[in-house]
Structure 1
Amino acid sequence: MSKIKLSTDRLTIGLYIQLPCAWGGHPFLFNSFKIQDQQQIDVLQSLSFNHIIYFPEKSASVPLPANTEKKSHDIEPKDEDDYLDALWQEKQRRVEEQKAYLRNLRKSENQFKQSLSVVRAINLKLDNQATQALSDATDLISNITEKLNGCNSTVLHLMEEGQENDKYHSHVFHVAILSMILGKALALSEQELIYLGLGALFHDLGKLKIPKQILYNRPEVSSVENNYYKMHVRYAMDKINNIPDFPNTVTEIVSQHHEFLDGSGYPQKLKGDQINLLTQIVSIANEYDNMCNPTDKHPVRTPYHALSHLYKNRGSQLNKEILGLLVKELGIYPPGCIVQLCNEKYALVLSVSKENILQPNVMIYDPSIPKNDAAIISLSEKELKIEKVIIPSRLPENIREYLNPRARVNYYFEHNDVS
């Protein structure tokens, strides 16, 4: 894409420009943007730039001829000063908002990592300290339930990637979080949420007995190997049936999590209401996570495409009401998506609130701003909208490295302790 140095006396509305200074050296929210009005031109000309960078292909107009005499716009100096002050104040407000957002994000990440460590410890105790493992799992899920019920509005954040060799624990914990968020949306009781979280946490326990060459190579396995894979439900049941006082409702979730409403699931080919409602919730969370984060050779789907596929193509197998709730909770553009905005900028969706499912918080790609200082904005406060979702592999390498789309998509909710 061509770019041309341009003196500020040639600026006009419709030019797409990049400013030749650091982000903190000007009052605008972005280092590059399309000029919208004369006030922006007046501010740009007041900043004493020797030149700006102009992008012809992105512009809706052409520069003024060289040495064009500056026109009077009948704007009082005080009005120009007020406009400039307003720009700086708005920018400072956004800076403070971004700092607060990052604090909340880091807090959620710490809670996520601590909980994931507990999940690992629970798994290690299952062989020789099964009763203690169940007790620890109940404490973990009860604590998460209390925090989740304490949130007036659920804000979901995209987490940093976990350890590459930790796919099992990341999967079951992520399914638990998604299931409990859906359960809260369905107004389940506290005890039902606890059973739901426990069922999700233990649903794949039997996979620990399946050889890795089968687990990691599906669907490129023989029919015999695939039938062996399906035995993981039976292996999980064998395990939990030996744990004293294991809740019957949780057992039912584990035994049914691969059953589908149309009877096409396994191992019992149950249909409709034969499948526990809590199981139907876990099944949807499980399918979504498996599409975004396959541990085998199934293709990876973006969160947007996974959600779209489930909603459009799996309605006969999965509960449509719960699928609708999943869309409401994750948004049309779930965290983890790479999107292109109406101003042609690329962005990574970082978090979403169901009050603004079309207007998530995004991190903007801007090569003139260091990656660690990248702008994070809420589309609900900016006249920007998402134009389309971009598959990460189709991005230029420099943009992909900057936005860092997660190889593994994990969510956790924002919770602020009441002091």
Structure 2
Amino acid sequence: MSKIKLSIDRLTPGLYIKLPCSWTAHPFLFGSFKIQDKEQVNVLQSLDFKHVLFYPEKSDCYPLPVNTDKAPEKSDAQKKIYLKALWAEKEQRVEEQQLYIHNLRKCENDFKQSLSAVRAINLKLENQATFALEDAKELITGTISKLNANDNAVLHLMEEGKEGDKYPCHIFHVAILALMLGKALALSEQELIHLGLGALFHDLGKNKIPNQIIYNNPNITTAEKNYLKMHVRYALDKISYIPNFPTPVTEIISQHHEYLDGSGYPKKLSGTQINQLTQIITIANEYDNLCNPMDKHPARSPYHALSYLYKNKNKQLNQEVLGLLVKELGIYPPGSIVQLSNGKIALVISVSRDNILQPNVLIFDPSIPKNNAPIISIGKLKLKIEKVILPTQLPENIKEYLNPRARINYYFEHTEHG
């Protein structure tokens, strides 16, 4: 993309420019932007530089001619008022971002603690299965309590976690998504507990399947595929030795690969033969497997994973629950790479159920250090998402800056009551 060094006396609204100074040395939110009005021109001409970089291809018009007669400018007092307002807005955005990052860090710590509890539960399943069930109930009950703390949950994109955390991340992520869907369906407290336990134990039988089968799928033989399907039976065998294991959770484990059209396994159940809790788990499980495949299937972006479920699984999955998943995650779920209406590239990092079309995004702006990258609610700046971009299509400098996650994990922000 071409760029031209342009003297500031030729600036006019409609030009897309980049400022030749650090982010802290000017009052604008971004270091590159399209000039909106004459007031911005006046502020730009009052700053301590004589030239900017002008991008013709991203601009709506041409610069003013050289040595043009300048229109009457606003008084110095008017300039100062506008400049002060710009600095105040920028400072407010910085404060909002600091609070956002503070809440995000709390959310990440809570997620990591919960993930540690999931690891411990899986270890106990080997020799202390009864205690594992009790610990799982405690974790799920606590998670439900946190989820119920806010009517308008804010769902955040989490860090990827360690390579060895694929399995615990998967089952806990399925639990989080399933509980959010269960809450949206107004399930009872006991149903939510069964739902969460079903998520934590649904893939329990895979620990008896050789890794070369689990991780090499889809490049496995028909016989190996049939062996992989045995993980359902292995899980049922394991829980049969756990006293007082809840029957609804057993049903989830036995049915989580069944489809409404009868094309699933192991019993080819269909329609109402599959209970409601299982139908919720199946959707959460399918979505996470698309975003975070354990095997050699290519990972889909969150946006494309939702699209795939709608286009290819509409006869197999509960349409009401699938619609609720979009309402919870948004059309552009956290983890999506998007291009905004101002041309900026951004990573969606959180979404609110009450405002799913206007998520919080982290914006790529090379003039701002990566650690201070602007995080904004696109609605506040009257921006829109124009399209979704695959991470593989990003230039290396943008990919390094935005750090799109190889694994997509979510957790919700909640208010602690003391």
TM class by smaller structure: over 0.9
Secondary structure at the aligned position of 1:366 is classed as coil
Contact 1:311-1:324 within 8 A present in 2 as well: no
Secondary structure at the aligned position of 1:387 is classed as strand
Distance in structure 1 (CA, Å) of the matches to 2:153 and 2:354: 9
What TM-score comes out, normalization by structure 1 length?
A: 0.98
C-alpha displacement at 1:52, in angstroms? Answer: 1.1
Secondary structure at the aligned position of 1:368 is classed as coil
Q: Mapping of 1:38-49 within 5 angstroms?
A: 38-49=38-49
C-alpha displacement at 1:22, in angstroms? Answer: 1.2
Instruction: For residues 342-370 of structure 1, give each alpha carbon's deviation from its aligned partner in whole angstroms, at most 9, with x where no partner exists.
Output: 11110000000111111100000011111
Instruction: For residues 312-367 of structure 1, give each alpha carbon's deviation from its aligned partner in whole angstroms, at most 9, with x where no partner exists.
Output: 32111000000000000000000000000111110000000111111100000011
Could you say which residue in structure 1 is the equivalent of 2:290?
291
C-alpha displacement at 1:163, in angstroms? Answer: 0.6
Q: Mapping of 1:10-409 within 5 angstroms?
A: 10-73=10-73, 75-409=74-408
Secondary structure at the aligned position of 1:127 is classed as helix
Distance in structure 2 (CA, Å) of the matches to 1:313 and 1:338: 23
Instruction: For residues 299-324 of structure 1, give each alpha carbon's deviation from its aligned partner in whole angstroms, at most 9, with x where no partner exists.
Output: 21110000011123211100000000
Instruction: For residues 369-402 of structure 1, give each alpha carbon's deviation from its aligned partner in whole angstroms, at most 9, with x where no partner exists.
Output: 1111100000121111000000000111111111
Secondary structure at the aligned position of 1:195 is classed as helix
Letter in 1 for 2:154: V
Distance in structure 1 (CA, Å) of the matches to 2:372 and 2:66: 36
Instruction: For residues 66-93 of structure 1, give each alpha carbon's deviation from its aligned partner in whole angstroms, at most 9, with x where no partner exists.
Output: 23232204x3433322221111111111
Secondary structure at the aligned position of 1:156 is classed as strand
Stretch deviating more after TM superposition (53-62 or 403-412): 53-62
RMSD of aligned alpha carbons = 1.0
Secondary structure at the aligned position of 1:166 is classed as helix
Distance in structure 1 (CA, Å) of the matches to 2:126 and 2:296: 29
Letter in 2 for 1:106: R
Could you say which residue in structure 2 is the equivalent of 1:412?
411
Letter in 1 for 2:235: A
What TM-score comes out, normalization by structure 2 length?
A: 0.98
Contact 1:293-1:300 within 8 A present in 2 as well: yes
Distance in structure 2 (CA, Å) of the matches to 1:185 and 1:191: 15
Instruction: For residues 149-207 of structure 1, give each alpha carbon's deviation from its aligned partner in whole angstroms, at most 9, with x where no partner exists.
Output: 11121110000011112111110000000000000100111111111000000000001
Distance in structure 1 (CA, Å) of the matches to 2:381 and 2:29: 10
C-alpha displacement at 1:50, in angstroms? Answer: 2.2
Instruction: For residues 31-90 of structure 1, give each alpha carbon's deviation from its aligned partner in whole angstroms, at most 9, with x where no partner exists.
Output: 1001111111001001131211111221121222223232204x3433322221111111
Secondary structure at the aligned position of 2:178 is classed as helix
Instruction: For residues 97-123 of structure 1, give each alpha carbon's deviation from its aligned partner in whole angstroms, at most 9, with x where no partner exists.
Output: 101100111111000000000100110
Letter in 2 for 1:38: K
Letter in 2 for 1:329: E
Distance in structure 2 (CA, Å) of the matches to 1:161 and 1:297: 18
Secondary structure at the aligned position of 2:199 is classed as helix
Secondary structure at the aligned position of 2:387 is classed as strand
Contact 1:350-1:361 within 8 A present in 2 as well: yes
Letter in 1 for 2:5: K
Letter in 2 for 1:153: N
Secondary structure at the aligned position of 1:126 is classed as helix
Contact 1:362-1:378 within 8 A present in 2 as well: yes
Secondary structure at the aligned position of 1:324 is classed as helix
Secondary structure at the aligned position of 1:221 is classed as coil
Distance in structure 2 (CA, Å) of the matches to 1:33 and 1:110: 35
Instruction: For residues 268-291 of structure 1, give each alpha carbon's deviation from its aligned partner in whole angstroms, at most 9, with x where no partner exists.
Output: 111111111000000000000000
Aligned residues: 418
Distance in structure 1 (CA, Å) of the matches to 2:369 and 2:82: 28
Could you say which residue in structure 2 is the equivalent of 1:2?
2
Distance in structure 2 (CA, Å) of the matches to 1:239 and 1:149: 32
Distance in structure 2 (CA, Å) of the matches to 1:324 and 1:154: 17
